[in-house]
């Protein structure tokens, strides 16, 4: 039914156990005459039996992304409707609590290279693989039939698209409205213009964490929120009882959104915004805070950047610790997959030791529940968050 590609002996074992990626060096040969995004049948070298179908890319390290274990599966609008419906059903419990949810989380939902999020009655999606991009019409048809949204917006601006030879695209697929209000499980309200927002809309991977950290905020606390973006953590800390939150970001647009969100939640007087580079701010800061939040954007996109990222994370923690009172709370997160949990903890340890302070982990968290981790794919686990007491 589809062109056949042979996986070398022994390399099929990992794929048979559930991993979805076959790398170019695992292919018996890399055909150059099959266009990127073509569906192919994967076969085992030793007995020539088919075991999966996948999206193929001749020029990518990830040469094949498995889309189905049924080698006779037809990949059409009905297929996407079924898969997206299944992933949506897995999130029913969340949709009872909040009206902003990631409905599809790529490989974790067996839809490699596809992200779908729902903000009230607006759907936004991002595609990062050539195979998914070639089937955008079928995906949009499924989204329309399943959700009948007011607008569907594509946010295809990820740097990962370049690795697949795809151009960046952003705009309306359906509708003309991108303004929306949404809320989390505790009633924190957010306003967003999805078309103008970063990434896919609202950094939903931190949604559960923003509400969970409320219990660590002392009544009347002074808080520093670095890399605040549109204020997810700042709002929750203000609502939890903080007296003053200093929210810092280098994006004027993000801070303008934060101001709207603060007004929406009735905490305008508690939040002070600072428009500047966060690294410079913390380095020059002379104040002391009860709570500091560090939630920087990814400092490492590939393993080549690990050294510079290590220095960046270490410096950031060292400077933050010096600005925390004894017994203060440090909430710190990394969204860099290549920068492992142990690497991140090591930066915290070194920064604490250099500052002659003791850091105690009170809680460790990952991404929100609508960003599940595929147990056979460690690549799907990326977000690390630690709540620490700094003695």
Q: Which residues are catalytic?
A: 335
Runs of H (alpha helix) within the chain: 12-17, 77-89, 92-95, 130-133, 136-147, 160-163, 207-212, 232-239, 252-264, 278-284, 306-322, 341-354
Cα-only R_g, the chain: 22
Class of residue 49 by CB neighbours under 10 A (exposed 0-12, middle 13-18, buried 19+): exposed
Contact present, 243 and 220 (Cβ < 8 Å): yes
Strands 169-174 and 151-156: antiparallel
> Three-class SS of residue 39?
strand
Nearest CA-CA partner of 351 in 278, 286, 294: 294
Distance between CA atoms of residues 89 and 53, nearest Å: 24
Please enumerate in sequence order all residues whose Cβ is within 8 A of that of 50, keeping only pairs 6 or more positions apart, or say none.
Answer: 4, 41, 42, 43, 71
Crossing angle of the two packed helices 252-264 and 232-239, in degrees rounded to 10? 30
């Amino acid at each position: 039914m589809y062109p056949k590609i042979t996986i070398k002996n022994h390399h099929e074992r990992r794929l048979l156990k559930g991993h979805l990626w076959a790398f170019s060096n695992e292919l018996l040969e890399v055909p150059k005459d099959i266009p990127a995004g073509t569906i192919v049948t994967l076969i085992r070298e030793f007995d020539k039996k088919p075991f999966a179908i996948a999206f193929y890319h001749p020029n990518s390290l990830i040469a094949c992304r498995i889309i189905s274990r049924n080698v006779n599966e037809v990949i059409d609008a009905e297929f996407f409707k079924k898969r997206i419906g299944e992933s949506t059903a897995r999130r029913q419990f969340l949709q009872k609590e909040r009206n902003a949810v990631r409905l599809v989380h790529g490989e974790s939902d067996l839809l490699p290279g596809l992200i779908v999020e729902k903000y009230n009655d607006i759907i936004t999606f991002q595609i990062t693989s050539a195979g998914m991009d070639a089937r955008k019409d079928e995906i949009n048809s499924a989204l329309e039939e399943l959700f009948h949204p007011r607008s569907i917006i594509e946010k295809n601006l990820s740097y990962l698209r370049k690795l697949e030879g795809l151009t960046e695209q952003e705009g309306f697929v359906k509708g003309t409205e991108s303004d929306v209000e949404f809320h989390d499980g505790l009633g924190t309200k957010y306003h967003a213009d999805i078309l103008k927002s970063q990434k896919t809309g609202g950094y939903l991977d931190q949604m559960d964490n923003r509400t969970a950290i409320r219990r660590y905020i002392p009544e009347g606390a002074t808080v520093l929120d670095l890399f605040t973006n549109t204020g997810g953590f700042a709002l929750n800390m203000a609502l939890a009882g903080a007296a003053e939150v200093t929210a810092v970001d280098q994006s004027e647009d993000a801070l303008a959104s934060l101001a709207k969100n603060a007004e929406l939640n009735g905490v305008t007087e508690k939040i002070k915004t600072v428009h500047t580079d966060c690294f410079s701010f913390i380095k020059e800061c002379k104040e002391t805070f009860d709570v500091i939040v560090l939630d920087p954007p990814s400092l490492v996109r590939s393993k080549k950047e690990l050294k510079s990222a290590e220095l960046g994370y270490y410096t950031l923690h060292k400077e933050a610790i010096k600005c925390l009172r004894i017994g203060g709370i440090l909430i710190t997160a990394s969204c860099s997959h290549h920068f492992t949990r142990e690497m991140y903890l090591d930066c915290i340890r070194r920064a604490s030791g250099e500052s002659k302070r003791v850091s105690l982990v009170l809680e460790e968290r990952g991404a929100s529940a609508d960003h599940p981790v595929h147990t056979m794919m460690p690549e799907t686990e990326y977000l690390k968050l630690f709540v620490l007491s700094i003695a």
